[in-house]
Amino acid sequence: KTEAVVTSAVPYPYIIPLRRTALVMIDFQRDFMEGGGFGASLGNNVELLRACLPAAAALLAACRAAGLAVVHTLEAHTADLGDLHISKFSRGNLPPGMRIGDVLTPEMGRVLIRDEPGNGIVPEVAPIEGELALFKPGKDAFYATPLEGWLRERGITHLLFAGVTTEVCVQTSMRAANDRGFECCLVTDATESYFPEFKAATIKMVTAQGGIVGWTATTGEIAAALK
């Protein structure tokens, strides 16, 4: 088949053109997902995020089996912090030792720096050969990255979004994609937030007003449509 239809998507059926759709896995990195990481050190409960890993892994497997393009992003800065705005560096009043670029622990390495151990994607949803893994210095996956060109070169028009955190990097990237004309669907059980009420609000707000930012659907609904 050439397309799959997710009939139960919200607010109305979502069509997945198989050769023109990419799965975008946002920031499934140890920094945010693991105890001892940056997110945990800020006082967040990483178990809330880890709850979406089984669905995210199942979504990834279903999209790979259907031959969809797959993109993974990582929130990360260059080792010299040359791509880090001072506004982002200084935000949050963090104590020394916990700012972006500092060594958090020997096991995790420097906070939010490319290729540091803590910046790696968790094994449950690790990229495989042929998939794009890209560093992004902002919350928006299109800001200062080659993502748009990569998608356009491949004729991609539709994007499925999964990742963490729902209301920050996932929603920001989905909105940015929507403004670039991509038809976007947020996969609700393959995304999580440290703040459940923010996740719930995001799901509501992206689908409000007839899908002002796009659609939502579950992993099961998408996997069934792709089969």
Query: Which positions are catalytic?
Result: 27, 136, 169
Taking contact as CB under 6 A, which single stretch among the options 10-18, 140-148, 161-169, 199-207 is the one that binds ligand C5J? 161-169
Q: What is the end-to-end Cα distance of the chain in Å, rounded?
A: 10
Name which position in 169, 185, 190, 222 contacts ligand C5J (CB under 6 A). 169
Closest to ligand C5J by CB, 125 or 168: 168
Q: Is 176 in the site for ligand C5J (CB under 6 A)?
A: no
Taking contact as CB under 6 A, which single stretch among the options 9-17, 116-124, 146-154, 164-172 is the one that binds ligand C5J? 164-172
Both structure tokens of 177 = 């994609």
How near is the Cβ of 199 to ligand C5J at its closest, in Å? 11
How near is the Cβ of 197 to ligand C5J at its closest, in Å? 15
Q: Is 27 in the site for ligand C5J (CB under 6 A)?
A: yes
Q: What value, to the nearest 5°, has the Cα angle with vertex 89 and ends 86 and 94? A: 140
How near is the Cβ of 16 to ligand C5J at its closest, in Å? 25
Closest to ligand C5J by CB, 57 or 174: 174
Name which position in 21, 119, 145, 165 contacts ligand C5J (CB under 6 A). 165
Q: Is 75 in the site for ligand C5J (CB under 6 A)?
A: yes
Q: What is the CA radius of gyration of the chain?
A: 17
Q: Which residue has the tokens 């990419």?
A: 22
Closest to ligand C5J by CB, 27 or 221: 27
Both structure tokens of 17 = 């053109």
Task: Give the interface size with ligand C5J as a residue count (CB under 6 A).
Answer: 7
Both structure tokens of 25 = 């896995």
* Alpha-carbon distances, residue 125 vs 28, 55, 59, 60, 179 (angstroms): 7, 10, 10, 7, 27
* Cα–Cα distance for residue pair 152/147, rounded to 1 Å: 9
* Cα–Cα distance for residue pair 44/47, rounded to 1 Å: 9
Contact set for ligand C5J, span 76-135 (CB under 6 A): none
Closest to ligand C5J by CB, 44 or 157: 44
The secondary structure of 153-222 as a DSSP string is HTT--EEEEEEE-IIIIIHHHHHHHHHTT-EEEEEEEEEE-SSHHHHHHHHHHHHHHHHSS-EEE-HHHH
Name which position in 25, 55, 57, 168 contacts ligand C5J (CB under 6 A). 168
Binding residues for ligand C5J, rule: CB under 6 A, are: 27, 32, 75, 164-165, 168-169
